[in-house]
Amino acid sequence: MSRPTANAGDSAAGSGDQTALSAARERLGGGLPGSPATLLGAVALVPTAGVLSLRLLRNAPGGLPPVGRAVMPAVSALAAVVPALAALGLAVDADRRAGRVALAAVGVFGLVGAADGAAWLPAAAAVLVGTGAALVVELAERAHARVGAVDSLRAALAPVARPGAVAALGALALAWSLAASAGIGTTTLRPAGAAVAFATLAALPLARRLDGAVDLGLWAVAAFAVVVLAAAAPFVAGAVVLVAFGAGTVPLALLALGIGGCVATVVADARRRSFGPAVAAALLLTAGVPGTLPRAVAFALGLVVLVREWAPAGAETGGTSGGVADA
């Protein structure tokens, strides 16, 4: 007779703890200029973009200046640690226990892998599984957050179709790239993972519905600039692409579409004040091909922030053109 009462009490206590945690997160977020996920992504973006910039300068004709050589080890260490800490921050901000556990696994094992190279394989496996689980939880929350009646399969899939497609491409790139780095089908999976990673970037402007002339024009200009630079200095461009992005096997057309599309997405989302997706797209670009653990954690963080901050689920079917709700 006492067992049901105890279970009910435990459930009530669990609900109370979750409510208190949600209230604490809301109070924290209320005093910040952006959502916690956006801010954590921005914090992780700084060292990730910093190490990319140093790699670009190191392979440029002038080489890396002395100050760049001096700060390179510190920036590289921060790029390995800060995204993992940001994943732990996202775990605290997650609403569901499954999401918290998945993101905590990404953060903890990202730190373990950065601290000890001998733990690379279990850390990579945990990052991959944790990222997949976190994305599933985020997409499930979007599906459950629908406002209004669902009268067709298309309407039911609307909240998750486009973010789910990008997340699936990104997760596939993550899985293939890490598997290749672990020695599984390296000659096949390494180029395939790199190609899918840049296909994820190229899909961003389509998934985010960049339909304005300015946005599409920026995509075309940025892609054309990549092609021109690669044609003008092919050996330098090859070294830059290999070292900075880990994308030495990616075809030039896909490389240009991916970089140009991601740049256009960042600018367009920032212009319409969708700062979360803008930060996430920048993280995906600066992380490059997720074949190493620091790149993989930054790439995973970008995917999770992108899905979480995509747009209110109820706005997927009825926004206005060019607005945040339309994204």
Instruction: Write out pLDDT tens, residues 10-42.
Output: 444 444 444 444 544 554 444 455 789 999 999
Residue matched to tokens 């994820």: 200
**Lookup: tokens for 12:** 């009530």
Q: Which residue has the tokens 């009530």?
A: 12
Q: Does the pLDDT of residue 144 top 70, yes or no?
A: yes
Q: What is the average pLDDT across 298-324?
A: 70
Mean pLDDT along residues 58-78: 87
pLDDT over 70, % of the chain = 81
CA dihedral angle for residue 169, residue 170, residue 175, residue 178, rounded to 10 degrees = 140
Summarised one tens digit per residue, pLDDT across range 204-256 is 999 988 877 888 889 999 999 999 988 988 888 888 888 889 888 899 999 99
Per-residue pLDDT tens over the stretch 243-294: 889 888 899 999 999 999 999 999 999 988 999 999 999 999 999 999 999 9
Q: What is the mean pLDDT of the chain?
A: 84
- Rounded to the nearest 10 degrees, the angle between the axes of helix 97-115 and helix 120-144 is 160
DSSP code string of 89-152: HHHHH-SSHHHHHHHHHHHHHHHHHHH-GGGHHHHHHHHHHHHHHHHHHHHHHHHHT--S---S
H/E element, 222: helix 213-232
pLDDT of 1 reads 42
Rounded to whole angstroms, the Cα distance separating 178 from 193 reads 8
The answer to whether the CB of 109 falls within 8 A of the CB of 127 is: yes
pLDDT of 325 > 80? The answer is: no
Q: What's the pTM?
A: 0.85
Instruction: State how far the Cα of 78 lies from the Cα of 305, in Å rounded to an integer.
Output: 19
Count of C-beta atoms within a 10 Å radius of residue 247: 24
Structure tokens at 35: 């959502």
- Which tokens hold the place of 4? 């049901």
Residue 246 gets the label, from left (phi > 0), alpha (psi -120 to 50) or beta, of: left
